[in-house]
Amino acid sequence: MATVANSTSTMHKLTSKPITIDCFEHDDMQSDLIYYSVNDIYGTQSNDIGMLSEFMIEQLEFLRQKYLDTKDKRYWKELVRWLPESWLQTRTWTANYETIRAICSSGQRRNHKLNEWSGQDDSSKNNFIAWARTLPYAQYLIFDDENIPFQLEK
């Protein structure tokens, strides 16, 4: 099995465009979940994930702008340090059917809990397993264990 991968570098691309919500994986974000609840001086009783993400994005964009304005690498370093794991990067990947078959096996990612792999908790068809099913001859070469065996007539 062999794959070839290429990705964009955070170091070279991080400051090339404004940081917005679309720079992050957020398609199934539960923005109304409460992450903190307290009575503060403004009378706020709770904060939700949506508010947290807006605040975080504002701060990251501030660091990006400060770096662009000053070229002070300390701003860039803090920007990299505080990037959430959901930061999206472009990645190209080349694989053969043997590799895709292994990835899609029931022991690997066919029933994975992350929607990006199998979409088990998501009605969306925007996931790796759904994409693999669209490949030519996928039902015979990748998902053959799901096929009902046939018998040759004598």
pLDDT at residue 29, rounded to an integer? 66
pLDDT at residue 125, rounded to an integer? 64
pLDDT at residue 1, rounded to an integer? 54
pLDDT at residue 86, rounded to an integer? 74
pLDDT at residue 74, rounded to an integer? 95
Distance separating the N- and C-terminal Cα atoms of the chain: 37
Ranges of each domain in the chain: 13-81, 93-145
pLDDT at residue 85, rounded to an integer? 73
pLDDT at residue 42, rounded to an integer? 58
> Angle at the Cα of 92 (from 109 to 121), degrees rounded to 5?
30
pLDDT at residue 149, rounded to an integer? 59
Q: Splitting the chain (154 residues) into consecutive groups of 10 residues, what average pLDDT does each group show?
A: 65 83 73 61 61 84 96 93 78 88 85 76 70 92 77 58
* Nearest C-alpha neighbor of 10 from the set 60, 79, 108: 79
